Amino acid sequence: MKEINEIRADFPILSRKVYGKPLVYFDNGATTQKPNCVLDAVDEVYKSYNGNIHRGVHFLSDMSSEAYENAREKVRAFINADKREEVVFTSGTTGSINGIAFSFGERYIKAGDEIILSRLEHHANIVPWQMMCERRGAVLRIIPINDNGEVMLDEYYKLLSSRTRLVSVTQASNALGTILPLKEIITAAHSINIPVLIDGAQGIQHGIVDLKEMDCDFYVFSGHKIYGPAGIGVLYGKEKWLSEMPPFQGGGDMVDKVTFEKTTYNELPFKFEAGTMNYPAAIGLASALDYVSVIGREDIAIREKELLIYATGRLSTIKGLEIYGNSEKKISTISFHIKDIHQYDTGMILDKMGIAVRTGTHCAQPVMDRFGIDGTVRASLCFYNTKEEIDTLADGIEKVKSMFA
Amino acid sequence: MTIKEVQDNIIEEFSLFDDWMDKYNLLIDLGKDLPVIDPKYKVKDFLIEGCQSKVWLHPVYDGKLISFTADSDAIITRGIVALLIKVMTNRTPDEIIATDLYFIDKIGLRQNLSPTRSNGLLSMVRQMKLYAMAFNAKNK
Judging contacts by C-beta atoms under 8 Å, the chain B residues touching residue A342 are: 53, 73-75, 77
* Chains A, B: CB pairs < 8 Å: 42
How many Å apart are CA A228 and CA A32, to the nearest integer?
A: 8
| CA–CA gap between residue A130 and residue A101 (Å, rounded) | 9
Burial status of residue B33 (CB atoms within 10 A of its CB: 0-12, 13-18, 19 or more): exposed
Subunit contact B21:A403, Cβ cutoff 8 A: yes
Q: Do B24 and A361 touch (CB under 8 A)?
A: no
Residues of A with a catalytic annotation lie at 363
Q: Based on the number of CB atoms within 10 Å of its own CB, is A388 exposed (0-12), middle (13-18) or buried (19 or more)?
A: exposed
Cross-chain Cβ contact A348/B24 below 8 Å: yes
C-alpha A327: how far from chain center: 19
Listing DSSP states for A119-151 in one string gives TT--GGGTHHHHHHHHHHT-EEEEE-B-TTS-B
Query: For residue B117, what pLDDT is reported?
Result: 56
Question: Residue A278 region, left (φ>0) first, then alpha (ψ -120 to 50), else beta?
Answer: beta
Interatomic CA distance for residues A288 and A226, integer angstroms: 7
Q: Which residues of A touch B119 (CB under 8 A)?
A: 344
Whether the per-residue pLDDT at B114 is higher than 60: the answer is: no
Instruction: Give pLDDT, residue B121.
Output: 74
| Residue A101 confidence (pLDDT) | 98
Residue B124, SS3 per DSSP: helix
Contact of A304 with A337, CB cutoff 8 Å: no
Which of B21, B22, B25, B53 should one mutate to test binding to chain A, selecting the residue with the greatest count of A CBs within 10 A?
Answer: B53
Residue A255: per-residue pLDDT: 85
CB neighbour burial string for A302-325, b if at least 16 within 10 angstroms, e if fewer: ebbeebbebbbebbeebeebbbbb
Residues from chain B that touch A19, judged by Cβ atoms under 8 A, are 20
> What is the pLDDT, as a whole number, of residue A280?
98
Low-confidence winner among A161-165, A193-197, A323-327, B114-118 (lowest mean pLDDT):
B114-118
Report whether the peptide linkage leading into residue A269 is cis, meaning its omega lies within 30 degrees of zero: yes
Distance from CA of A344 to the nearest CA of B (A): 6
Segment A352-400, tens digit of pLDDT? 999 999 998 889 999 999 999 989 999 999 999 999 999 999 999 999 9
What ipTM does this complex have? 0.86
Phi/psi for B71 (5° steps) reads -155, 165
- What does the alpha-carbon distance between residue A164 and residue A274 come to, in Å, rounded to a whole number? 30
| pLDDT range class, residue B138, cuts 50, 70, 90 | confident
Instruction: Give the mean model confidence (pLDDT) for residues A206-222.
Output: 98
**Closest residue, chain B, to A396 (C-alpha):** B21
- Interface residues of chain A, partner chain B, Cβ below 8 Å: 19, 341-345, 347-349, 352, 359-361, 374-375, 403-404
pLDDT at position B107: 86
For chain B, domains (ranges, CATH) are: 3-139 (3.90.1010.10)
Q: What does the angle CA A50 – CA A56 – CA A58 come to, to the nearest 5 degrees?
A: 70
Mean pLDDT of A199-216: 98
Whether the CB of B51 is below 8 Å from some CB of chain A: the reply is yes
Taking contacts as CB-CB distances below 8 angstroms, the residues of chain A near B24 are 348-349, 352, 403
A103, A247 Cβ separation under 8 angstroms? yes
* Mean pLDDT of the A83-90 span: 98
Q: Which residue from A353, A364, A385 is spatially nearest to A32, judged by alpha carbons?
A: A385
CA distance A277 to A255: 14
Contacts of A344 in chain B (CB under 8 A): 52-53, 74, 76-77, 119
Residue-wise pLDDT tens digits, A153-169: 999 999 999 999 999 99
| Residue B140 banded pLDDT, cuts 50, 70, 90 | confident
Q: Is the pLDDT reported for residue A6 higher than 60?
A: yes
The whole-chain average pLDDT of chain A stands at: 96
A329 vs A146, A176, A181, A309, B130, CA distance in Å?
14, 11, 9, 11, 50
- A106 — pLDDT class (breaks 50, 70, 90): very high
Report how far residue A219's alpha carbon sits from residue A234's, in angstroms, rounded to the nearest whole number.
8
- Note whether A352 contacts B21, CB cutoff 8 Å: yes
Virtual torsion, Cα B125, B126, B128, B134, nearest 10 deg: 170
Q: Apex CA A377: angle with CA A371 and CA A382, to 5°?
A: 115
Question: Which pLDDT band, with edges at 50, 70 and 90, does B54 fall under?
Answer: confident
Q: Which of residues 12-31 of B touch A (CB under 8 A)?
A: 20-21, 24-25, 28
Say how many C-beta atoms besides its own lie within 10 A of residue B29's C-beta: 12
Among A360, A359, A346, A341, smallest CA distance to A396 is for A346
CB contact under 8 A, B24 and A352: yes
Q: Which residue of A has its CA nearest to B75?
A: A345
Tell me the pLDDT tens digit for each residue of A233-242.
Answer: 999 999 999 9
Q: How many helices (H) and strands (E) does chain B have?
A: 6, 3
Tell me, rounded to whole angstroms, the distance of Cα A381 from its chain centroid: 14
CB distance B75–A359 less than 8 Å?
no
Q: What's the rounded mean pLDDT across residues B132-138?
A: 91
A48 pLDDT above the threshold of 60? yes
Does the pLDDT of residue A90 top 90, yes or no? yes
Q: Considering only CA atoms, which of B116, B117, B40, B53 is closest in space to residue B81?
A: B53
User: What number is the average pLDDT over the span A244-263?
Assistant: 89
Instruction: Considering only residues B37 and A30, tell me which one the structure prediction assigns the higher pLDDT.
Output: A30
Asked if pLDDT for residue A40 goes beyond 70, the answer is yes
DSSP code string of A218-241: EEEEEGGGGTS-TT-EEEEE-HHH
**Per the CB < 8 Å rule, is B76 touching A344?**
yes
Q: How far apart are the first and last CA of chain A?
A: 43
Which of A345, A347, A360 has its CB closest to that of B75?
A345
Interface touch B20/A352, C-beta < 8 Å: yes
| DSSP at A247 | P
Please state, in angstroms and as integers, the Cα–Cα distance from residue A238 to each residue in A39, A85, A163, A269, following that order.
Answer: 32, 9, 22, 11
Q: Looking at residue B34, what is its pLDDT?
A: 87
The pLDDT value given to residue B51:
58
Residue of B nearest to A352 (CA): B20
Residue B53's pLDDT is what?
83
Percent of chain A with pLDDT over 70: 100
The residues near B17 (Cβ < 8 Å, ≥ 6 apart) are B23, B26
Residues of B catalogued as catalytic: 51
- What is the per-residue pLDDT across A274-331, written as a single tens digit (0 to 9) for each? 999 999 999 999 999 999 999 999 999 999 999 999 999 999 999 999 999 999 999 9
CB count, 10 Å around CB of A73? 12
Query: Amino acid identity, residue A325?
Result: G
- Distance between CA atoms of residues B87 and B2, nearest Å: 9
pLDDT band at B33 (very low <50, low <70, confident <90, very high): confident
Q: Do A344 and B52 touch (CB under 8 A)?
A: yes
- How does strand A21-22 pair with strand B54-61? unpaired
Name all domains of chain A by residue range, CATH numbers in brackets. Answer: 4-26+296-404 (3.90.1150.10), 39-293 (3.40.640.10)
Q: How confident is the model at residue B116 (pLDDT cuts 50, 70, 90)?
A: low
Residues from chain B contacting residue A352 (CB–CB below 8 Å): 20-21, 24
pLDDT of residue B98 exceeding 60: yes
Mean pLDDT taken over chain B? 87
Whether residue B118 has pLDDT greater than 60:
no
* Beta carbons of A69 and A242 less than 8 angstroms apart: no
> Average pLDDT for residues A331-345, to the nearest whole number?
96
Among B18, B19, B20, which would you mutate to test the A interface (most chain A Cβ atoms within 10 Å of its Cβ)?
B20
- Position B27 pLDDT exceeds 80: yes
